[in-house]
Amino acid sequence: MTDGILSSHDITRVILQLVLNEGVEDCTTNWKTVRCPHSHNTRRRRFAILRSTCKLWKDLMDGLTDWLTDYDLYLAATKHKMRSVRYLLSRGKLDPTTYDNYLIGQAVYCNDYQMVKFLLADPRVDPSAWNNLAIRNATMHSGNQMVRLLMADPRVDPSAKDNEAIINAASRGNCDLVMHLLDDPRVDPSARDNKAIVNAASGGHCDLARLLLMYPLVDPSTEDNEAIISASFSGKHEMVRLLLSDPRVDPSAQDQKAIKEASLRGHDKTVQLLLADPRVDPSAQDQAAVKGASSRGHVRTMLLLLADPQLEVLDETFGP
C-alpha cells in the first residue's frame, strides 16, 4: 500500500490469504493431544500449491505462515521431508524441541541420519532427552553411523537406563557397535546381571561373545547359566562350544536344562557337545532328554542320547 492506495501486490496478497483460509477451522489445540482439525490438511495442500505457482506468489505465501504449528514440523520430520523441516524452522516461531525433544528421538527411531544431523545443528535440540532415548533407539533400530553421530555429543550418555544401549546392540549381534560403546568408560558390559552376554549367546553371536568375555566383569554363568541354556535352546552349537570353554559355565545347571532343551528340539550338534561334558547327565529326571527327543521324532538325537553310558539303566527297563 502506498499513500493509502492498495497496489495490485496488496490485492493479490489478500486474495491468496482468503483462498488459503477458506473453510479452515482455527488450530488452537495442543498438537500433542488433539492434533489439528482435518481442514488444516486442506490448508497445507493449498499452501503448497499456491506457493509453487510462481515466484511472486511464493514470496507472498512466505509471509502468510502464522498458521503453521509444531504439529506441521512433526509431520514433516516423521515423513522424512528434509526440505520442509528446513523451511518450517526458518519461519522462526516453530520449536524443534517440542514435547521434550520428541522429533530427534523419532528421527533416530526411523534411522533418518540426515534429519538427526540437521536437528543436532540446532542448539535448542537435546539428544539426551527422555533419559537418552535417542542413543537407546539408535542401538536398537539404527546403524553404527547414527550411534557415532549421537555419541559425538557430550550430552549423550550411552550407559543410560542401566546400559540399555549395549544390551540392545548385543541382542542384534552388532560387534562393531558394541566395541564403539565400550570405548566409553561409562558403559558396563556386565549390567543387568550380564544381560549383554546372555543376549549374544541366545542369538549365537560368537564374535560378540568373545569380545564381551574379554572384560573381567562379564560372567557367562550368570542367572544360573542362562547363556548356555539359551544357546542350547536355539541350537547355536558354536556358541555352546565357546561357552563350554569357560570354566565358570555349568552345562548341567537348572536340572540339566541345556541337554533337555537341545534334545527336545533335535539340535544334534549341540547335544553331541553337551554329552562330551562329564557334568551333563542325559538320564536326569527320568530320562527327560530322551523322552523329549522321542516326542518330536528326533531319531538321530535319540541315538546320540542312547549311546551315552549314563543311560545304560534303560537296558533293565526294556528287559525280558
How does pLDDT run along the chain (320 residues), one tens digit per residue? 455 555 788 889 898 999 888 888 766 555 444 456 677 788 889 989 999 998 998 999 999 998 888 888 888 988 899 999 999 999 878 999 988 899 999 999 999 999 999 999 999 999 999 999 999 999 999 999 999 999 999 999 999 999 999 999 999 999 999 999 999 999 999 999 999 999 999 999 999 999 999 999 999 999 999 999 999 999 999 999 999 999 999 999 999 999 999 999 999 999 999 999 999 999 999 999 999 999 999 999 999 999 998 886 544 444 44
Residues 148, 179, 229, 269, Cα dihedral to 10°: 110
Q: Which class for 319: exposed (0-12), middle (13-18), buried (19 or more C-beta within 10 A)?
A: exposed
- Rounded Cα distance between 312 and 289, Å, is 14
Given CATH 1.25.40.20, say whether it is the number of domain 167-320.
yes
Considering the entire predicted model, what is its pTM? 0.82
The residue written with cell numbers 553337551 in the block is 274
Domain boundaries, the chain: 76-124+135-143, 167-320
- Rounded Cα distance between 187 and 147, Å, is 14
